[in-house]
Amino acid sequence: MKIDKSLMAGSTTMLILKLLDTEDMYGYQMIEELERRSQNVFTLKAGTLYPILHSLEQGGMVESYDRLSEGKRTRKYYSITNKGKKLFKEKQAEWDCYTTSVNQVLGGFGLCNHLTSM
Amino acid sequence: MQSSNKHVEEFLQSVCNEIKCKSVHKSVARELENHIEDQKTEYVNKGFDEETALKKAIKEMGNPASVGRELDKTHRPKTEWSILAITSVLVILSGTIQFLFSGTSQDTSYMFSHFLLYSLIGIAAFLIVYFFDYTLFSTYPKLIYTGIFIMTLLVFVFSNKPYGGFIYMYYAVLLFIPAFAGIVYSLKDKGYLGIVISGLFYLSGAFLCLISPSVISLLLLTISAFTIITTSIAKGFFKVNKKIGFAIVYVPTLLSFIILIIKAHEYISKIFMIYLYPGFDPKGAGYLYLMLRNTVSQARLIGSSLNENTIIPLWNTDFTLTYIIARWGYVAGIAITALMAILIVRMFIIVSKQKNSYSFLLSLSSTIAITAQIVLYVLSNISIIAPIQITLPFFSFGAYSFITNMILLGLLLSVYRRSHLISDRFKGTQHKKPVLSFENGKLTIDFGLLKPKKLQ
């Protein structure tokens, strides 16, 4: 199932941070990994990914370094910083509360009580 | 952008056309090109032929112009407003003081007009350095250092040596310091020999200070060079055992220091006597010190404590802060010092943010050169240390001091402006050969001196 792009827009940063929380990755790898984990629901365009990555780097949320990867190409790897991990936790809490609230409205079965801190 | 394929190149070109900041073009293009290659390989694996795979991969990237516009938004050069604001306040205050006293006596009549002229030249010098891509300096560090050396020497040869030595040495040293940072960068990864060669470059600058002779220039150069070299060893730039690295720097230094003390103990003990007993030699070396100390101790919190006995020599250059304290009170002096302190902190924050070793060394060198002047100046002005001939950056009257310090500030802010644009690209490309290598029965000695270092 393809989803409306605007639905994804708000959560892209969070998803990128989540990916980097597991391991250091380069851009293409992130797109692949995201597709794999979401079973092809999320297709992130390079044109969206790199501006986000670059601004995260400027904000000190991620850091980049060059590393020779398999295939003998030097790739720009990104790794998450402590500041980035904190931002991820905030985004996730925000997201949890948001989805719970949406579900509450839609079906009335969501509970937001464990997230009252947000 | 050297891409094997015309289509890829076209794509990268139209992305980069949208990005105003040229210094990121290379790294952005490389990253995107890698991405296209990866995507292409993926399509080839899926069974497409090379050309279709590539076309599909490029299409997958999206509209190049809009990708470029998005990237442009994140790659705007940054401006350090707080440092610019503080410097402007200092320059305006300095100008105000020159204005107030211009023409109050015969020897001050020229002051304000001189100030106007040199401040314009200084600001122009700042702007040129600020907008110039400083990474170009990294290509010929030895040439730059040698150039400053020869120019200083020429000034020595062709100008009459004034009483008290060449004052130009002080300004030359301010330029030697960032040039030295370039030298250290070019010797990165060169091991122990790199440290020794850096030391030789330092000694050549120190030699000029000695023949000048200018103790304060030697002090400034030494403080800065040692900070740069110590930080470089600690950060592992030379790729050596840190303890041995420090030993190479500090054992000879300590030894020469001990020899100096033994050889010149009379002179040195005299200086110490002035510190410990300010009354010692009140008509000679202790005179200035006593004069300044009395002025500072008689100062009020707010308001003037000047009287007919107050004499502050060189009040508009070397002892402006003492003068301000005497003329307007402690509060005014503390305010100026606090501004300087904020400036120092902001400068060090810039240094700490540098990821790339060249930007780090260059920003560190400018920061140390400015900071050392400020600290020594303040200590000398409030009589904590013996009076020295030094200028307060951006504040003291004087064309050379102002212009050279503006160049240093320009370098620092130029680094800041591009700090997020130039990340460390050296890990893969750096000249990694050790100085001495033994391969296939051949001993290779490679100083890496002949190769200009290129950033990126």
What are the tens digits of pLDDT across the range B5-62?
Answer: 788 999 999 999 988 877 788 888 988 998 998 889 889 998 999 889 998 889 888 8
**Cβ of A73 under 8 Å from any chain B Cβ?**
yes
d(CA B65, CA B18): 6
Q: Are B395 and B319 in contact (CB under 8 A)?
A: no
Q: Is the pLDDT of residue B361 over 80?
A: yes
Token output for B22: 């040229």
Percent of chain B with pLDDT over 70: 86
Of the two residues B386 and B227, the one the predictor is more confident about is B227
**pLDDT the model gives residue B450:** 45
Q: List CB contacts (< 8 A) between A70 and chain B.
A: none
Q: How confident is the model at residue B278 (pLDDT cuts 50, 70, 90)?
A: low
Segment A52-67 mean pLDDT: 87
The CATH number of A5-115 is which of 3.40.50.970, 3.40.980.10, 3.40.50.300, 1.10.10.10? 1.10.10.10
**pLDDT the model gives residue B285:** 65
Q: List CB contacts (< 8 A) between B67 and chain A.
A: 46-47, 50-51
**Cβ of A67 under 8 Å from any chain B Cβ?**
yes
Distances (CA, A) of B356 to A80, B415, B420: 18, 10, 10
Handedness of CA B327, B328, B331, B332 (dihedral sign): negative
**Cβ of B21 under 8 Å from any chain A Cβ?**
no
State whether B141 and B62 are in the same domain: no
State whether B201 and B60 are in the same domain: no
The nearest alpha carbon in chain B to A59 belongs to: B420
Q: Letter for the amino acid at B273? A: M
Q: How confident is the model at residue B441 (pLDDT cuts 50, 70, 90)?
A: low
Is residue B22 classed exposed, middle or buried when 0-12, 13-18 and 19+ CB atoms within 10 A define those classes?
exposed
Q: 3-class SS at A19? A: helix
State whether B380 and B242 are in the same domain: yes
What is the domain range of residue B17? 6-74
Segment B359-384 mean pLDDT: 94
Other CB atoms within 10 Å distance of the CB of residue B299: 24
Is residue B35 classed exposed, middle or buried when 0-12, 13-18 and 19+ CB atoms within 10 A define those classes?
buried
**pLDDT the model gives residue A117:** 44
State whether B203 and B292 are in the same domain: yes
Q: Is the pLDDT of residue A106 over 60?
A: yes
Among candidates B22, B37, B73, which has minimal Cα distance to B456? B22
**B398 in a structural domain:** yes
State whether B23 and B137 are in the same domain: no
Residue corresponding to tokens 């107030």: B100
The nearest alpha carbon in chain B to A48 belongs to: B67
Contact A65 B67 (CB under 8 A): no
Q: How confident is the model at residue B82 (pLDDT cuts 50, 70, 90)?
A: very high
**B438 in a structural domain:** no
Q: Are B371 and B347 in contact (CB under 8 A)?
A: yes
**B452 in a structural domain:** no
**B109 in a structural domain:** no
- Alpha helices by DSSP H, B212-285: 215-234, 242-263, 265-276
d(CA B338, CA B393): 14
**pLDDT the model gives residue B176:** 96
Domain chopping of chain A, boundaries:
5-115
Residue of B34, B67, B75 lying closest to A75 (CB–CB)? B34
Segment B403-424 mean pLDDT: 84
Residue to test with chain A: of B67, B353, B455, most A Cβ within 10 A: B67
**B161 in a structural domain:** yes
Other CB atoms within 10 Å distance of the CB of residue B252: 12
**B434 in a structural domain:** no
Among candidates B115, B89, B84, B117, which has minimal Cα distance to B102? B115
Q: Are B38 and A28 in contact (CB under 8 A)?
A: yes
Is residue B150 classed exposed, middle or buried when 0-12, 13-18 and 19+ CB atoms within 10 A define those classes?
exposed
**B450 in a structural domain:** no
Which stretch of A88-92, B229-233, B248-252, B288-292 has the lowest confidence by average pLDDT? B288-292
What is the per-residue DSSP string for B295-307?
A: HHHH--SSS----
Contact A76 B66 (CB under 8 A): no
- Domain total in chain B: 2
Q: Is the pLDDT of residue B89 over 90?
A: yes
**pLDDT the model gives residue B290:** 80
d(CA B256, CA B342): 36
Mean pLDDT over each residue of chain B, to the nearest integer: 84
Q: How many interchain CB pairs under 8 A, A with B? A: 69
Q: Is the pLDDT of residue B424 over 60?
A: no
State whether B132 and B59 are in the same domain: no
Q: Is the pLDDT of residue B428 over 50?
A: no
Backbone dihedral angles phi then psi of residue B394, each to the nearest 5 degrees = 70, 0
Q: Letter for the amino acid at B377? A: Y
Among candidates B155, B197, B195, B160, which has minimal Cα distance to B175? B155
State whether B354 and B409 are in the same domain: yes
**B444 in a structural domain:** no
What are the tens digits of pLDDT across the range B133-142?
Answer: 888 888 899 9
Q: Are B220 and B369 in contact (CB under 8 A)?
A: yes
